[in-house]
């Protein structure tokens, strides 16, 4: 049976969250990605899990990677695209983690790199490319191949997540268009764990981690 975990008491889904990610004064695509990555409250238990419960640590890292890859709630407007070369740094108000995003290029794809420095000293780095748009059964999808890498503060634990996360714009008749995400990531770490984690359009997350001793750690949770 999968273990259900409580990801955070902070809300990452809905209108209030989206008003933070898409503030009324407008925001650039680089600034939006900075705000999107400010879900580091999901990682508050990571440092305490790394040594004794690395499978849970890998799953926790995977939850953050999925959650920070897109948004869930009303898409009030489209961020301005800006120009490559832009760089924005901002602290996550919930944790103090420093989030930096760099706009790398827009041809052939919109590409961004990021770095998140956690209060524990751990660092998450990564990159994504928005490869275009596609029609889906739920709306307009924007697939983004993504890479996330984590290194603990003392360097004793590392983890990696790679895959494609889709952001989808879903029209509503009498309400704002909704943005939501779905996709999957492949996981691995320095403790010889491998696995996968996925998220659906309702922000439900499930993961299976194969430990080095061939036992399986499974978990389920839901962004709220």
Query: Could you tell me the residue ranges of all domains in the chain?
Result: 3-222
The model's pLDDT over 147-168, given as tens digits with 9 standing for 90+, comes to 999 999 999 999 999 999 999 9
The pLDDT of residue 6 is 45
Q: Which CATH class is domain 3-222?
A: mainly beta
Q: What is the pTM of this model?
A: 0.94
What are the backbone angles phi and psi of residue 57, rounded to the nearest 5°? -60, -45
The pLDDT of residue 139 is 84
Give me 2's structure tokens: 């999968």
Q: Give the integer Cα–Cα distance in Å for 39 and 62.
A: 12
pLDDT at 66 over 70: yes
The model's pLDDT over 30-62, given as tens digits with 9 standing for 90+, comes to 999 999 999 999 999 999 999 999 999 999 999
12: left (phi over 0), alpha (psi -120 to 50) or beta: alpha
Give me 107's structure tokens: 């041809």
The pLDDT of residue 4 is 47
9 — pLDDT class (breaks 50, 70, 90): low
């Amino acid at each position: 049976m999968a273990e259900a975990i409580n990801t955070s008491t902070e809300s990452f889904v809905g209108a209030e969250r989206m008003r933070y990610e898409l503030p009324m004064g407008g925001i650039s695509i680089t600034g939006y990605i900075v705000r999107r990555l400010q879900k580091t409250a999901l990682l508050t238990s990571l440092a305490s899990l790394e040594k004794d419960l690395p499978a849970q640590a890998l799953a926790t890292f995977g939850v953050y990677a999925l959650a920070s890859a897109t948004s869930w709630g009303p898409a009030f407007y489209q961020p301005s695209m800006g120009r490559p070369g832009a760089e924005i740094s901002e602290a996550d108000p919930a944790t103090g983690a420093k989030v930096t995003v760099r706009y790398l290029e827009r041809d052939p794809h919109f590409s961004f790199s990021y770095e998140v420095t956690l209060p524990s000293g751990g660092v998450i780095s990564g990159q994504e490319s928005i490869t275009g748009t596609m029609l889906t059964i739920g709306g307009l999808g924007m697939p983004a191949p993504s890479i996330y890498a984590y290194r603990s503060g003392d360097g004793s634990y590392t983890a990696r997540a790679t895959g494609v996360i889709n952001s989808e714009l879903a029209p509503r008749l009498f309400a704002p268009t909704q943005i939501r995400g779905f996709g999957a990531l492949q996981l691995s770490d320095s403790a010889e764990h491998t696995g996968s984690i996925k998220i659906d359009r309702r922000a439900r997350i499930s993961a299976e981690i194969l430990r080095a001793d061939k036992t399986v750690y499974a978990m389920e949770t839901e962004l709220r």
